[in-house]
Amino acid sequence: MFQTPREAGMILRNMREDAGLSQAALAALAGVSRRWLLDFENGKPSVDMSKVMDTFAALGAGFDVVEKSPRRRQSES
């Protein structure tokens, strides 16, 4: 689980390295530029979410959104 763009980038980098892929190879598989992948792995906060999803998918991974604490609906306030 990750909570920041930096943590997401570190997880992706570890997964890429575990898969034995270079940045160039993963970028080609995911349809992103190597520069974009480098920025993402370094935690750049302004990345395109669809590219993030495509890149994790290229490694055979996805992610779930987990609600940390329920928020009250405005109608309940």
User: Which structural domain range is residue 52 located in?
Assistant: 5-58
Residues 48, 70: Cα–Cα separation, whole Å:
27
**73 located within any domain:** no
Residues 39, 47: Cα–Cα separation, whole Å:
8
**72 located within any domain:** no
CATH number at residue 46: 1.10.260.40
Residues 30, 52: Cα–Cα separation, whole Å:
9
Residues 48, 30: Cα–Cα separation, whole Å:
13
**24 located within any domain:** yes
**77 located within any domain:** no
- Using 50, 70 and 90 to split pLDDT, how confident is the model at 76? low
Give 26-67 pLDDT, tens digit per residue. Answer: 999 999 999 999 999 999 887 788 898 899 999 999 877 777
In total, how many domains does the chain have?
Answer: 1
